[in-house]
A and B are shown apart, each in its own frame.
Chain A
Amino acid sequence: MRGTLTIARLTWLEARRRKIALAAVVCGLVFLAVFATAAFFAHRSVAQGVVDLVGQRIMFQMLLQVGLYVVNFLVVACAVLLSVDTLSGEISSGVIQTLASKPIDRAAIVLGKCFTHWLMTGAYLMLMALGVMLSVWAAAGIFPPHVPIALLFMWLGATVMLAVTMLGGTRLTTIANGIVAFALYGIAFIGGWVEHIATVLRNDAVRHVGTTISLVSPADAMYRRAVHELQPSGALDVQLTPFTPLSVPSGAMIVWTLAFVLVTLLLAIRTFRHRAL
C-alpha cells in the first residue's frame, strides 16, 4: 500500500507540474463556456415563442445529450491520453528502472498510476458533465434525473479505456498503445450504433453482433446506459434524438464491464511483473 500511495502521489505531482491537470481544466472550461453560450442563445430564441413547450423540452434534451456525448468522448480521450505514456514512456526512457529496483511490488507502480489517473478522469467527468447539465438547467430549467448513477456509468466507461491503456502500456510503445486504445474505443462506438440500428430495424441477429462487439469493448455501452438513466421517465420509450439509446445495456453488461476492468488490470499487473525493464 505504501508503494501504491507513493506512486499515486508522484503521478499527481507529475500531472500538476507538467500542467496536464491545468490544461484539461482550462480546455474543459472553454468547452463549457461555449456550450453555456449556445444554451443561452437557444433559450433566448425559444423564449420568443418560435417553438412550443414540448418542442422546447425536446430541443434542450437534445442539447443536453449532444453535450454529454462530447463530454463522454473528451473524458475517454482524457483517460487514454493520461495513461498512454505513463508506463511505456517510463520503460523506454529508463525512468522505471530506479522505481522498480526498490522494495515494492511492481503492481504498486501499475495501481498507483492507475489510481491517480482514475481519480483525475472522475474529477474531469464531474466538472464537464455537471457543467453541461447546469448550463442546460440555467438556460431552460431542465435538469436530468438519476445524475449520480449516470455519472458512475460514464466513469466506468472511461475506466474501461483507462484499464485497456494501462495494459497496452506494459507491452506496447506509446504510439502503438494509443492506436490500439482508440481503435478499441472506435469498435465500442460502432458496437453501440450497430445495436441502435438493429433495434430500429427489429433485427435480432444484427443486435447480437452489436452486443458481441460491446462485450469486446464495453466502454460505449456504459455511456449508453448512463444516457438511458438521464432520460426523463416519460421519454424512456421514445427516441428523442439520434443520441438517445434505443438498446439499453442490461445489468449483466454492467457486471461484465466491472469484470472486464478487473481482469484487464490484473493482466496489466501480471504482464508488467514479468516485463524486462
Chain B
Amino acid sequence: MLEAAIDTVGLRKEFARNVAVADLSLRVGRGEVFGFLGPNGAGKTTSLKLMLGLVEPTAGGGTVLGAPLGERDIRARIGFLPEHFRFHDCLTAAELLDLHGRLLGVRAPALKLRRNALLARVGLEEAADRTLKTYSKGMLQRVGLAQALLGNPDLVFLDEPTSGLDPLGRVLVREIIEELRAGGATVFLNSHLLGEVEATCDRVAFVKHGRVVHELLLAEMQSGLDVEIRVADADTALLNGLSEFGSDARLDGGLVRLRVAHERSLPAIARWLASRGTDLYELKCRKKTLEEWFIEVMGEDQGPG
C-alpha cells in the first residue's frame, strides 16, 4: 500500500457518557481520494476533528502526514473545509483569505498571488471585495473551499464540500478534487452525496457506531456485476453450476441471482445454460451502486453510535 497520509489505531472519543467514536482504525494512502461514509451520528465529523487535532482522543492515536495527531506545525500542510463553514462575515473574501494565509505563514507577495488565483478558481474574482455577509450560501462554500486550498496542502479534509452548491458548484468541487489528485495531494472526503463520492473517490470506508465496518476499493466495485437470471426450473444443481461463474449465487423468488467479476462471464453463462438444456427467459446484469453498498453494509440499524 501507499505511504500513509493518515494512519489511526483504536481512536476513541467519549463526550461524558456518549461515545462519539468507538474504535477508529484507518489508513489512507498518500495521493488517495478517500471517501468516509456513514449515517448521521456515526461519528464521521468527530473522527475528522480528531485527525485535525480539534478534538483530543480519549484513547488511541495515530499520525497525519507522518506527524502525531494534533501536532501544530504539520497543520501548515493540511487544508480543511468544515461541514458548516462559518467565518468572520464582516470581512471580505480577500481579507478572509489574507487572514488565513497569514495564519498559515504564507508571506505577503506570494499570499496575494495565491489568494487571487484561488478566488478566480472558485469563481469569486469579482466578488472578492464584498463582505461575506452579502454572499449566498453557495458563494460562502466556494470561499471556504478557497480557504482550504490556500496553503497548497498535501492533505485536504472536505466535510460535505458540495453542501449548498448548485450543479455548477458541484462540478467545480469535482474538478478541484481531480486537480488535487493530479498534484499528488490526499483528499479525505466526508459526504452524504454518494454519487459525488462514487465519481471522485478511489476508496471508501463505511463507518457505523464510531468504527469502520467495511472498506471498498471503488475500482473493484465498478468491475463487479450483479446478474439476474430467469429460467424455467431453478434448482440446487443449477445454483451449484452457476457458482462456477461467480459468487453469491442464490434463489430469490423465481429468479437466480449471482455476482460476477466481468461482463465476459455473461455469454459463458448463457452457453452453459443452453448446453444443459435449461430454458432461459431472461438474463440481466447491472453494476451495484455505492448507495446499494451503503444500504447493504449499514443494514436496517443506521442509528447513531
Query: Which residues on A are within 8 Å of B, measured CB to CB?
Result: 2-3, 6, 10, 13-14, 17-18, 93-95, 97-105, 274, 276-277
Contact = CB atoms under 8 A, between A and B. Distances in A.
A98 B82 contact: yes
A19 to B, nearest CB: 10
Nearest to B147: A98
Interface in B60-83: 72-76, 78, 80, 82
A32 B23 CA distance: 62
Contact of B54 (A17, A95, A100, A104): A100
Interface of B: 15, 49, 52-56, 72-76, 78, 80, 82, 84-88, 90-91, 95, 99-100, 102-105, 131, 144, 147
28 contacts: A2-B103, A2-B105, A6-B103, A10-B88, A13-B95, A14-B90, A17-B91, A17-B131, A93-B86, A94-B82, A94-B84, A95-B88, A97-B80, A97-B82, A97-B86, A99-B103, A101-B52, A101-B75, A101-B80, A102-B75, A102-B103, A102-B104, A103-B74, A103-B103, A104-B72, A276-B54, A276-B56, A277-B55
A268 B67 CA distance: 27
A274 B54 CA distance: 9
Contacts of B88: 10, 13-14, 95
Per CB-CB distance, the 7 closest pairs between chain A and chain B, nearest first, are A17-B90, A102-B103, A103-B75, A103-B76, A276-B55, A94-B86, A277-B54
Nearest to B53: A101
Contacts of B56: 274, 276
Nearest to A105: B72
Contacts of A104: 72, 103
A100 B82 CA distance: 12
B87 A98 contact: yes
Contacts, number: 73
Contacts of B53: 101
B148 to A, nearest CB: 8
A10 to B, nearest CB: 6
Say what secondary structure dominates the interface of chain B.
mixed
Contacts of A103: 72-76, 103-105
A272 to B, nearest CB: 12
Contacts of A2: 102-103, 105
Contacts of A97: 49, 54, 80, 82, 86
B111 to A, nearest CB: 12
A210 to B, nearest CB: 39
Contacts of B78: 101
Nearest to B95: A13
A6 B96 CA distance: 11
A95 B49 contact: no
A196 B54 CA distance: 48
Contacts of A17: 90-91, 131
A158 to B, nearest CB: 25
Given A98-B100, A276-B56, 14 more contacts: A6-B102, A10-B88, A14-B90, A95-B88, A98-B82, A98-B87, A101-B52, A102-B100, A102-B103, A102-B104, A103-B72, A103-B73, A103-B74, A105-B72
A18 B131 CA distance: 12
B80 A98 contact: yes
Contacts of A95: 86-88
Contacts of A6: 99, 102-103
Contacts of A98: 80, 82, 85, 87, 100, 144, 147
Contacts of A102: 75-76, 100, 103-104
Nearest to B98: A6
Contacts of A3: 103
Contacts of B91: 10, 13, 17
Nearest to B84: A94
Contacts of A14: 88, 90
A95 B104 CA distance: 16
